[in-house]
Amino acid sequence: MFGIKAACKQDNIDNATLFTILVAALGYFVDIFDLALFAIVRVQSLKTLGVTADAMLSTGILIINCQMGGMLLGGILWGILGDKIGRRSVLFGSILLYSLANIANGFVHDINTYAVLRFIAGIGLAGELGAGVTLASELLPARLRGLGTTFIAVLGLLGVIFAVAVAAYTDWRIAYITGGVIGLVLLALRVNVCESNLHEKLMAEAPDIARGNVMIFFRQPKLFRRLLKVVWVGAPIWAVNGLIITFTPEFAKDLGMTTLPTAANATLAFYIGGSVGSLCIGLLSQYLKSRKKAVAIWLIWMAVNVGLYVLTARLDDTRVYYLMCATLGFGMGYWTIFVQMGAEQFGTNIRATAATCAPNFVRGLTIPFTAGFHALVPTLGVTASGVAVVSIAILTALIALSRLQETFGKHLDYQEE
C-alpha cells in the first residue's frame, strides 16, 4: 500500500485502520466503475432502447445530467449524515442504494426509467469518495494522510478497467447488474470498518455542537466562499470527463477523424492516465509538503494537454487519440487530492459534509457544463464549444486555488462554530 503499512507500524496504527482504508478504496473502485459505465455503454444501451443517431447526443446529455443531478443531491444528503451519525454509516447506506438502483438498471426498457434509475444511482454513489477520504484523513496521522488518499485514488481509478472488461464481454444490462452485485459484496466487507476517532471524540466531548448543519455555510459567508473555492478547484476534471471523454465520437467526428474512436476506449485511457497521475501527484505532494503546489502543476498540465488534444486529434490516428485521452487523464489525477483538500479545509463537525458535497457539486457542474456546451455548438461547433467550456473551468480553478489555504500537515482536531 505504497509504504503505508510500514509507516503505520512506526506510528502504531492498527490493522483495523488499514482495513478501513482498503475498504474505502474498494468503495471508490465501485464508484468509478459505475461513473465510467454509462460513458462506456451509452451508445449500445441507447440504441437498444430505440434512440436514433440524431438524438444520441441530446439523450446522452439528458441521462448523464440526471446521474450528476443525483450526485449533487446525494452529496448534500450523505455529507450531512456523515457528520450527524458517522462516516461509517454513510459507507453502508450509499453503497446499498447504489447497488439496488444499478441492478434495477439492468431491466429498463424506456429512456425515462433509465434516467430515473441513473438519478437514484447517482444519489447512492455520492457518498463513497467523500466519506472514504474523510475517514482516511481522520484515522491517519498528518504525515501519512496524503499516502492514504493516494492509495484510495489509485485502486479506485482502476475500476474503469474492470468496467471496460465487463462491458466488452457482456451485454450492457449484465454490466449494470454486475456493478450492483459488486456493491452488495462490498457492503458485507464494511461490517468491520471502524469509525473515525475524531468523530467519536466529538460525539463524546461535544454532543450538543451542531454537526452536519448545511446552514452554517450560509450563516458564515467565509465558510461558503471557502467551499465554493474548493468546488471550483475540481471543476476542470468533470469539464473534460463530462464533455471530451463521454462524447468522444462526436468530438472525433467534428475534428475530421475518419475512423472514430470509441467512448469505451477513450474512458479506459482517461482513467488509466488518472490512476498514474493520482500516484504521481500523491508522491509529489508528499515531497513538496504542499497540496496547492502539486494541484497547480496538474492544472497547468491539463491546460496544455487540452490544446494538444485538439492538434493531435487532427492526425486522424485512433492510437494517438487514445494516448491524448490518457495524458488528459493524467491531469485529472489530482481529483482525490482535491477532495482531501476539501476535507482538510473544515472542522470535524462539518468535515464530512464539505468533503462529500465538494466532489459531488463538481460532478453536478456537469449539468451547466453540458448545457453551455450544447448552447454553443450551433455557433462554434462541437470542438470549439468543448474547449471554451474547459478553458473557463481551468482558469477559474487556478484563481480559486490561489485563494485557498495550504492544508498539508494541518491539525484536524477542531470544530467550526
DSSP string, 159-187: HHHHHHHHHHHS-HHHHHHHHHHHHHHHH
Determine the 3-state secondary structure of 247 from DSSP: coil
Looking at the whole model, is its pTM more than 0.85? no
Residue of 132, 134, 119, 154 whose CA lies nearest to 364? 119
pLDDT in tens, 62-99: 898 898 888 888 888 887 877 777 667 777 788 889 89
**Out of 122-136, 272-286, 290-304, which region has the weakest mean confidence (pLDDT)?**
122-136
According to CATH, what is the number of the domain 14-196+214-402?
1.20.1250.20
In sequence order, what are the residues at sequence separation of 6 or more whose Cβ sits closer than 8 angstroms to the Cβ of residue 215?
Answer: none
Average pLDDT over residues 233-238: 93
What is the percent of the chain with per-residue pLDDT over 70, rounded to a whole number?
A: 89
Report yes or no: 318 and 249 within 8 Å, Cβ to Cβ: no
Average pLDDT over residues 35-45: 86
Higher pLDDT, 204 or 387: 387
Average pLDDT over residues 17-33: 83
Cell readout for 104 is 434495477
pLDDT in tens, 295-314: 999 999 999 999 888 888 77
pLDDT level of residue 284 (50, 70, 90 thresholds):
very high
Determine the 3-state secondary structure of 158 from DSSP: coil
Q: Is the pLDDT of residue 239 over 80?
A: yes
Report yes or no: 281 and 294 within 8 Å, Cβ to Cβ: yes
pLDDT for the residue numbered 149: 80
CA dihedral 157→162→122→230, nearest 10 degrees, is 10
In sequence order, what are the residues at sequence separation of 6 or more whose Cβ sits closer than 8 angstroms to the Cβ of residue 99?
Answer: 124, 179, 180, 181, 182, 183, 184, 187
Report yes or no: 269 and 326 within 8 Å, Cβ to Cβ: yes
Average pLDDT over residues 103-126: 92
pLDDT in tens, 249-262: 888 888 888 888 98
pLDDT level of residue 45 (50, 70, 90 thresholds):
very high
pLDDT for the residue numbered 204: 64
pLDDT for the residue numbered 376: 93
Nearest-angstrom CA–CA distance, 185 and 163 = 16
Average pLDDT over residues 168-181: 92
pLDDT for the residue numbered 322: 93
Higher pLDDT, 108 or 198: 108
Nearest-angstrom CA–CA distance, 238 and 415 = 31
Nearest-angstrom CA–CA distance, 402 and 397 = 9
**Out of 102-116, 141-155, 304-318, which region has the weakest mean confidence (pLDDT)?**
141-155
What is the percent of the chain with per-residue pLDDT over 90, rounded to a whole number?
A: 29
Average pLDDT over residues 228-250: 90
pLDDT for the residue numbered 119: 94
Q: What is the DSSP secondary structure assignment for residue 379, as one 8-state letter?
A: H
In sequence order, what are the residues at sequence separation of 6 or more whose Cβ sits closer than 8 angstroms to the Cβ of residue 159?
Answer: 28, 29, 30, 31, 32, 33, 36, 271
Determine the 3-state secondary structure of 103 from DSSP: helix
Report the chain's mean pLDDT, rounded to a whole number.
Answer: 84
H helical segments located in 170-313: 172-189, 197-205, 216-219, 221-239, 248-254, 263-288, 291-313
pLDDT for the residue numbered 106: 92
Q: Is the pLDDT of residue 390 over 60?
A: yes
pLDDT for the residue numbered 218: 73
Q: Is the pLDDT of residue 248 over 80?
A: yes
Q: Is the pLDDT of residue 403 over 80?
A: yes
Q: Is the pLDDT of residue 285 over 80?
A: yes
Packing angle of the helix pair 111-125, 15-48 (nearest 10 deg): 170
pLDDT in tens, 356-373: 888 888 888 888 898 899
Which of 103-129 are b and which e, b meaning 16 or more Cβ less than 10 Å from the residue's Cβ?
A: bbbbebeebeebbbbbbbbbbbbbbbb
Tell whether the torsion through CA atoms of 324, 302, 370 and 69 is positive or negative: positive
pLDDT level of residue 24 (50, 70, 90 thresholds):
confident
Q: Is the pLDDT of residue 397 over 90?
A: yes
Q: What is the DSSP secondary structure assignment for residue 140, as one 8-state letter?
A: S
Q: Is the pLDDT of residue 131 over 80?
A: no
Q: Is the pLDDT of residue 151 over 80?
A: yes
